[in-house]
Amino acid sequence: MRKLSNNIHVSDYSEIKELKEGVKNWMYKYNFKRFHSSLNYKKPMNVYLNYVENVA
């Protein structure tokens, strides 16, 4: 079984379209919903948007 991550198993999808949707959902959760210890328990998108706001 091939794994893209701990949450996405390539063999769980019968079509590329389903796999793409699964990856899209995983990326959304990872970047918008999940707190990251390496970012002082902040969400990546919040860190990014704060950076962009302060640079512009």
pLDDT tens sequence across 13-55: 889 999 899 889 889 999 999 999 999 999 999 999 999 999 9
What is d(CA 17, CA 13) in angstroms, rounded to the nearest whole number? 9
- Give the residue carrying structure tokens 């701990």: 6
- Contact, 33 vs 52, CB < 8 A? no
Is a pLDDT exceeding 70 seen at residue 1?
Answer: no
pTM of the model: 0.71
- At residue 22's C-alpha, the angle toward residues 14 and 36, to 5°, is 150
